[in-house]
Amino acid sequence: MNLLISAILVLSGNINTIRIRVQGITRTFAFYVPPSYNRKNSLPLVLVLHGGGGSHRSILRQTKYRFNTLADNYGFIAIYPDAFERHWNDGRGLERYRSQRENINDVLFIQSIIDTLAKIYPVDTERIFATGVSNGGLMSMRLGCELKLVKKIAPVVALMPIKLMKQCKPYHPVDVLFLIGKKDPLVPFEGGDIHFRRLRLGVVASWDSTLSFWAKVNGCSADRKEETHEGITRILYSGCKAQTIMYIFNNGGHTLPGGRSNLPEFIVGKTVKNFMATDSIIKFFLESEK
C-alpha cells in the first residue's frame, strides 16, 4: 500500500485509478487531483457518478473532462467511481440489473472510496458532495438519504424513485440541486415508469413531488420562487435549513446540459446548449459556502 500511495502522490494532475475490495468484490474508481495540491490544505471531494451502462470513462467524455478543469480552479478532488457491472444500486430494486438484484452495497463502496482517499490526502470531510447523470443521479439521491458524510447532491435528469422515497431518512438536511429536462423521453417529467424503448425500469415521482419531498427533508417553508429565462425555469424554496433548488430545461431531454450526449438525439432528446451544468454544479457545491 505504501508503494501505491507514493505513486499516486507523484501523479497529481493526472487521472488515476485505484482498485479496492468491498464485501469481497473488487471495485474501481478513477480520480483527479489538481496539480496545485498542497498537503497543508484539506481538499473537498466531488463524486461524479456515471449513468446506467456507463463507466468512469463515459462520464469523463460526457462532461468533456470539465470537472477536472474546475478542480484546478477550485481546488477539489474529482472522483469517478465505476458501478458494479455498469449499473448503480440506486434504490429502485430492479431484477434486471445484478447490482440491484443482489443488493450490492454501493453506499458502502462510496464510503470506502472516501476512506481510501482520506488515508492518502488531507480530505475535508465537511465538504463531500455527489452529482450524477441518470442512474448516477438516482444514486446521488440514495447517497443523500443514507451517507452521513455527503452534504450536498446535484442529480441530473433523475427524479426520486418511489421505493427510495418510502425509505429515505437523511441524517441531516441535504443541499440539493436538480437539473431536469421537461422533454426527457426516459425519465417522465410528471412521474411514472422510467423506460428505455420497451423496457420498464422502475417508477419515479413527478418533478413536483420530488422537489417537495426534499423541501420537506430540508425544513423549507411552503413558499417557493419561480422564474423563467431563455427556456430555463428555476425554482427555489425559501426558509430552508439546506438549499432546495430545481432547474427545469423546457426543451431538454435525457442529457447533461452543456455536455456531450452518449446516445443519439432520437433516443435521449435534445442537449441544452445555453447552460453549463458542470460549472453550475460546482458553484452550488463550493461558492455558496462563501
Q: Check residue 10 and give its pLDDT.
A: 41
DSSP 155: E
Q: CB-side exposure of 81: number of CA atoms within 13 Å?
A: 32
**pLDDT of residue 24 exceeding 90:** yes
Q: Where are the domains of the chain?
A: 2-289
Q: Check residue 13 and give its pLDDT.
A: 61
Overall average pLDDT of the 104-130 stretch: 96
**pLDDT of residue 288 exceeding 90:** no
Following CA atoms 25, 26, 32, 38 in sequence, which dihedral angle do they give, to the nearest 10 degrees?
Answer: 90
DSSP 150: E
**SS3 for 15?**
strand
**SS3 for 45?**
strand
DSSP 161: B
**pLDDT of residue 9 exceeding 80:** no
| Percentage with pLDDT > 70 across the chain | 94
Instruction: List the strands of the sheet with 43-49, edge to edge.
Output: 15-22, 25-32, 77-81, 43-49, 123-133, 150-156, 175-181, 244-249, 232-237, 224-229
**pLDDT of residue 92 exceeding 60:** yes
**pLDDT of residue 124 exceeding 80:** yes
Considering the entire predicted model, what is its pTM? 0.94
**pLDDT of residue 1 exceeding 90:** no
**pLDDT of residue 66 exceeding 60:** yes
pLDDT single digits (tens) 208-218: 999 999 999 99
**SS3 for 202?**
strand
Nearest one of 195, 199, 184 to 251, comparing CA atoms: 184
d(CA 260, CA 249): 16
Question: How far, in Å, are 104, 144, 196, 214, 272 from residue 114 at the CA level?
Answer: 18, 15, 32, 25, 32
**pLDDT of residue 45 exceeding 80:** yes
To the nearest whole number, what is the mean pLDDT of the chain? 93
d(CA 229, CA 241): 27
**pLDDT of residue 6 exceeding 90:** no
Please, which residues bridge with residue 106 across strands? none
* pLDDT tier for residue 198 given thresholds of 50, 70 and 90: confident
* pLDDT tier for residue 12 given thresholds of 50, 70 and 90: low
* φ and ψ at residue 159, rounded to 5 degrees: -115, 165
Is the domain spanning 2-289 CATH 3.40.50.1820? The answer is yes
d(CA 219, CA 225): 16
The CB density around residue 126, as the number of other CB atoms within 10 Å, is 10
Q: Check residue 143 and give its pLDDT.
A: 98
| 207 neighbors 189 (Cβ within 8 angstroms) | yes
DSSP 258: T
**pLDDT of residue 57 exceeding 80:** yes
Nearest one of 105, 111, 130 to 45, comparing CA atoms: 130
The CB density around residue 119, as the number of other CB atoms within 10 Å, is 9
| Percentage with pLDDT > 90 across the chain | 89
* pLDDT tier for residue 184 given thresholds of 50, 70 and 90: very high
User: What does R_g of the chain's alpha carbons equal in angstroms?
Assistant: 18
**pLDDT of residue 129 exceeding 80:** yes
pLDDT single digits (tens) 242-272: 999 999 999 999 999 999 998 899 999 999 9
* pLDDT tier for residue 289 given thresholds of 50, 70 and 90: very low
